[in-house]
Structure 1
Amino acid sequence: MENRNIDFIVRRYRKGRFSPEAGWHRFGVVPVSAWHRFRVAAAVAATVVLSAAAAYIYKEYHVAEPTRQSTPVSAVSPLTEVKVIDFENAPLAEVVRKIETVYDVKVLNLPDNSSDYELSLHYEGTPTDLIAVINDILGTQMTVAEK
């Protein structure tokens, strides 16, 4: 430090004026009593002990979930079956063929100029919703029926 800085401190120093306790009091922070610290430590210790006890009890008495037997559902309509289908610059006729193959349905009212349309999309859902989306995009009137 320079001499000027030391002179400034020497001239203005007063005992107790620059103490940390006085600084904390100016900020409104009061020292915590030993009893308060003990209560906080006891609360933390109790939380740790209770958590450990709960984990032990859960591990010791946890009953495995009984196995469930699944029954096959045989009456699922292809019109409500959700599947994933992807197209990349595919002509509409190819898209319709793939929809009919994947969903096992029949697409009706394919436009005469289907070779003029190309689609790129990723779709997850039912064939009815997929054809509705294609109709909205291309302005066609196609419908879906079960085979």
Structure 2
Amino acid sequence: MKLQLQAFCLLQIALCSDIGNEVEFVQGSLKENGGNLDIRKVLITNESLWLYQETYENGFIACSRTKCLYEREICIRIKMTNYSETQYNFTLAMYLNDTPVENDYFGTFANDTDPPKSLVLRDPLGGEKQVELTLRYTDELDQKCSVFAINSLDPHLTTCKVITV
């Protein structure tokens, strides 16, 4: 069954500070483990948060006039650089094929829930809202592994296809 969604694609990622934990995505809808999830408790840490698993392809095809190359993103992690009561700044680091790449980002904690469950990330150059990262699940004891939903806020994104099996 194909569904057309306007204005956003919903994706899931698992970020872990301890890769020794085993993470498995649940087929179907993921139930939140509590109404008072606090995204700040997960993100505000001096440890790197590693992208452990995602429900999307972490690469892209880049084409020139004569050929196309598949660019693969690996070893993806975020490292907090600064935070306040309302903002969270971090560096996104990865390897693009064999080349290390780092980009700085900033986000604002969404105030639609108390405590906040979401972080709105902005383009560091233009300041436009890019994505909303919403905490859906976290290991309740130590927040070592968490699952987030990613909602694109890009106004240029018109449709995306979600295929359910």
Relative CO higher for 1 or 2, CA cutoff 8 Å, sep ≥ 6?
Answer: 2
**TM more than 0.5:** no
- TM-score when normalising by structure 1: 0.20
Higher Rg of the two aligned structures: 1
Larger strand percent: 2
Structure 2 length-normalised TM: 0.18
Structure with the larger helix share: 1
